[in-house]
């Protein structure tokens, strides 16, 4: 029996439920050990209009069952992104969504306008949840009006799929989720990293130069799962689950808890083959239960 692994995230059909998360996969060109057949899609490293140097080292530190990062959205700017990668993406057999970032609402709109219609750009993931930039980022993610304004600004400039990546650093993710849904988002990605901190006992100061960083890895998985589930309960648009997924079982938890697809991120650092192993593991799980497709997987999603 061949299991049908296709999933729909809004109008976008993916050949598999596992997507490479932004910032853990570069621009898709530097993961030689990965079997690309397993990729449902890819979210490119977050981009701003202009080039950004990123934060000084140390940028990462290991913490119990996870890691803190403060990369600061280092990147070449949107023009170089289009010049160097878009044509390549257009030749791939899975969609690439571009993770877009701005310091103001209008910058998000400008990025969408610049990228809309570029062959190879299949959609957008609006990042309103990066904890590692001084301007914008998290600010847009924890104010429902700002989150909606950013989503509207992007929506006005494109008919491509618009996903919005939510921050966990809110008191009620449902409020933000509904605001973004009303503003025209096609899907939500829940959740980005949690803000954390670690102290160097020799230097008596934070280990990260940026003081704080985004916590990822299995340390956040139960928290992320709960928030993705809460978001899925709050809206009618699909939710893509992300946060600490290392293995097949973790991905299945997010799918059963109401997610249409999942993103795998930090796991790729530890195991460059994680995405393929999780994809194949989901297929094996479905087959072992006599299920013919992901759509047949039982879901636990009582509505709000």
Partner 1 sequence: MFLLSAPITALREVARGMRVISIEAPDIASTVRAGQFVNLGLPGAFLRRPFSVYRVEGDRIEVVLKAVGVGTAALLSMRPGDAISCLGPLGHGFDLASGPQSIVLVSGGLGVAPMPLAAREAKANGMRVTWVHGARSRDELCSEAVGDDVIWATDDGSRGFTGNAVAAAPDGDLVIACGPNRMLAAVAKRWPDAQVAVETYMGCGTGVCLGCAVPLSRGGYDRACKEGPVYRAAAVEWSILPAHLPYAITA
Residue 30 found at the interface with partner 1 (CB under 8 A):
yes
* Residue reference for tokens 């400008």: 110
Tell me which residues in 94-153 interact with partner 1 (CB under 8 A): none
- Please state the separation of Cα 80 from the chain's center in Å: 22
Distances (CA, A) of 242 to 34, 52, 138, 290: 19, 25, 17, 26
Q: How far apart are CA 253 and CA 21, in angstroms?
A: 17
Residue 270 found at the interface with partner 1 (CB under 8 A):
yes
Q: Which of 86, 177, 268, 276 binds partner 1 (CB under 8 A)?
A: 268
| Stretch in the footprint of partner 1 (CB under 8 A) among 78-86, 111-119, 202-210, 234-242 | 202-210
Distances (CA, A) of 126 to 75, 102, 105, 122, 207: 16, 9, 11, 13, 29
Q: Which of 1, 2, 33, 134 binds partner 1 (CB under 8 A)?
A: 33
Return the CA Rg of the chain: 18
Q: How far apart are CA 298 and CA 258, in angstroms?
A: 9
Cβ 216 to partner 1 shortest distance, Å: 10
Q: How far apart are CA 78 and CA 224, in angstroms?
A: 30
Cβ 203 to partner 1 shortest distance, Å: 7
DSSP string of 187-219, one letter each residue: EEEE--PEEE--EETTTTEESSTTS-EEEESGG
Residue 57 or 298 with smaller CB distance to partner 1: 57
Q: Which residues are catalytic?
A: 130
Q: Which of 5, 18, 31, 259 binds partner 1 (CB under 8 A)?
A: 31
Q: How many amino acids of this chain bind partner 1 (CB under 8 A)? A: 41
Cβ 72 to partner 1 shortest distance, Å: 9
Cβ 22 to partner 1 shortest distance, Å: 11
| Stretch in the footprint of partner 1 (CB under 8 A) among 93-101, 157-165, 169-177, 196-204 | 196-204
Tell me which residues in 48-77 interact with partner 1 (CB under 8 A): 53-67, 69, 71, 74
Residue 222 found at the interface with partner 1 (CB under 8 A):
no
CB contact set of 188 (below 8 Å; sequence gap of 6+): 163, 164, 165, 166, 177, 180, 181, 231, 235, 237, 238, 239, 240
By DSSP bridging, strand 96-100 and strand 123-127 are parallel
Residue 26 or 184 with smaller CB distance to partner 1: 26
Are 48 and 27 in contact, with CB atoms under 8 Å apart?
Answer: no
Cβ 296 to partner 1 shortest distance, Å: 33
Shortest CA distance to 214 belongs to which of 111, 43, 61?
61
| Stretch in the footprint of partner 1 (CB under 8 A) among 25-33, 84-92, 234-242, 294-302 | 25-33
Q: How far apart are CA 271 and CA 268, in angstroms?
A: 5
Residue 165 or 207 with smaller CB distance to partner 1: 207
By DSSP bridging, strand 12-14 and strand 18-20 are unpaired
Cβ 245 to partner 1 shortest distance, Å: 14
| Stretch in the footprint of partner 1 (CB under 8 A) among 104-112, 268-276, 285-293, 295-303 | 268-276
Cβ 21 to partner 1 shortest distance, Å: 11
Q: Is 64 exposed, middle or buried (0-12, 13-18, 19+ CB in 10 A)?
A: exposed
Residues that bind partner 1 (CB under 8 A): 23-26, 30-33, 45, 53-67, 69, 71, 74, 198, 200-203, 207, 217-218, 268-273
């Amino acid at each position: 029996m061949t299991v049908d692994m296709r999933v729909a995230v809004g109008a976008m059909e993916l050949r598999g439920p596992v997507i490479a998360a932004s910032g853990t996969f570069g621009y898709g060109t530097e993961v030689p050990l990965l079997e690309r057949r397993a990729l449902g899609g890819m979210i490119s490293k977050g981009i701003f209009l202009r080039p950004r140097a990123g934060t000084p080292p140390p940028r990462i530190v290991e913490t119990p069952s996870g890691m803190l990062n403060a990369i600061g959205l280092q990147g070449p700017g949107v023009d170089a992104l289009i010049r160097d990668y878009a044509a390549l993406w257009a030749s791939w057999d899975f969609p690439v969504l571009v993770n877009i970032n701005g310091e103001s609402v209008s910058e998000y709109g400008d990025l969408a306008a610049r990228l809309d219609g570029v062959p190879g750009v299949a959609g957008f993931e609006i990042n309103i949840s990066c904890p590692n930039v001084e301007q914008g980022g998290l600010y847009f993610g924890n104010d429902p009006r700002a989150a909606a304004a950013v989503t509207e600004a992007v929506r006005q400039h494109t008919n491509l799929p618009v996903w919005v990546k939510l921050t966990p650093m809110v008191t009620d993710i449902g409020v933000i989720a509904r605001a973004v849904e009303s503003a025209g988002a096609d899907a939500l990605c829940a959740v980005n990293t949690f803000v954390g901190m670690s102290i160097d006992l020799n230097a008596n100061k934070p280990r990260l130069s940026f003081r704080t960083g985004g916590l990822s890895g299995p340390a956040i998985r139960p928290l992320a799962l709960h928030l993705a589930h809460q978001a899925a309960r709050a809206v009618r648009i699909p939710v893509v689950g992300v946060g600490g997924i290392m293995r097949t079982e973790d991905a299945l938890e997010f799918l059963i808890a109401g997610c249409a697809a999942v993103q795998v991120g930090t796991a790729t650092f530890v195991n460059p083959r994680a995405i393929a192993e999780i994809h194949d593991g989901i297929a094996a799980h479905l087959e072992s239960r006599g299920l013919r497709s992901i759509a047949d997987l039982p879901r636990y999603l009582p509505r709000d």
